[in-house]
Structure 1
Amino acid sequence: MKNSADISFNLMRVLYTFIEEAKHQYLMDKYLIMNSDEFVTRLLKFRRWQDAQLSLLGRVLLKYGLDHYFDSKDFEIGRTPDYKPYIKNHNLHFNISHAGNLVICCIHESPVGIDVEYINQEADYEEFKFQMTSGELEKIHFSEDKVQSFFTYWTEKEAVIKAHGKGMFIPLDSFEVNHSKAIIENEIFYLKEIYLDKKYQCCIAANEDIREKTIFVKRLNVNFL
Structure 2
Amino acid sequence: MIILYAFISEERHQSLLNRYLPVFSEEIKRDILRYKRWQDAQLSLLGKVLLRHGLRTYYNIPDVEIGVLPNKKPYLKGHNLHFNISHSKELVVCAIAEYPLGIDIEYNDPKISYHDFTFQMTPNEIQEIQDAEDEMNGFFTYWTRKEAVIKAHGAGMILPLESFEIANDECIIEDEKFFIKKIFIHEDYHSYMASSDPEIKKTIPLFKHFEGDILA
TM bucket normalised to smaller: over 0.9
Q: Which moved more, 1:98-107 or 1:163-172?
A: 163-172
The match for 2:166 is 177
C-alpha distance in structure 2 between counterparts of 1:143 and 1:52, whole Å = 36
Structure 2: segments with no counterpart, 5+ residues: none
Separation (CA, whole Å) in 2 of partners of 1:215 and 1:138:
32
Within the candidate set 38, 41, 46, 1:52 is matched to 41
Task: Give how far 1:78 is off.
Answer: 1.4
Superposition pairs of residues 84-163 of structure 1, within 5 angstroms:
84-163=73-152
Q: Give yes or no for contact 1:180–1:211 (8 Å, CA) kept in 2.
A: no
Amino acid at match of 1:220: F
SS in 2 for 1:224: coil
Matched, 1:216 2:214: no
Superposed displacement of residue 211, structure 1: 2.9
RMSD: 1.1
What is the match of residue 194 of structure 1?
Answer: 183
Q: Is the Cα contact below 8 Å between 2:100 and 2:197 reproduced in 1?
A: no
How many residue pairs are counted as aligned between the two chains?
A: 214
Percentage of identical aligned residues: 49
Partner of 1:8: none
Question: 4+ residue stretches of structure 1 with deviation over 4 A?
Answer: none
Q: State how far apart, in whole Å, the 2-side matches of 1:87 and 1:172 are.
A: 27
Deviation, structure 1 residue 213: 3.6
Query: Equivalents in 2 of 1:14, 1:114: separation in Å?
Result: 10
Pairing 1:2-13 to 2, within 5 Å after superposition:
12-13=1-2
1:208 Cα deviation from its structure 2 partner: 2.1
Are residues 1:23 and 2:6 paired? no
* Secondary structure in structure 2 of the residue aligned to 1:22: coil
Matches of 1:40 and 1:156 in 2, distance apart?
A: 31
Q: Is the 8 A contact 1:19 1:222 kept in 2?
A: no
CA distance in 2, matches of 1:143, 1:197: 21
* Cα pair 1:125 1:147 within 8 Å, conserved: yes
Match of 1:82 in 2: 71
1:37 paired with 2:20, answer no
What displacement does 1:146 show? Answer: 0.6
1:161 partner amino acid: I
Compute the TM-score of the two structures, normalised by the length of structure 2.
0.95
Q: Secondary structure at the match of 2:84?
A: strand
SS at match of 2:150: helix
Task: Kindly provide the amino acid, as one letter, of the partner of residue 214 in structure 1.
Answer: I
Distance in 2, matches of 1:152 and 1:37, equals 38
Q: Is the 8 A contact 1:17 1:222 kept in 2?
A: no
Who is 2:59 aligned against?
A: 70
Given that 1:97 and 1:105 are in contact with CA atoms closer than 8 Å, whether structure 2 keeps it comes out as yes
- Local SS of the residue matching 2:186: coil
Q: What is the CA distance between 1:212 and its match in structure 2?
A: 4.3
Name structure 1 gaps, 5 residues minimum.
1-11
**Following the alignment from structure 1 to structure 2, what is the Cα–Cα distance between the partners of residues 70 and 137?**
42
Within 1, Cα distance between the matches of 2:36 and 2:161? 30
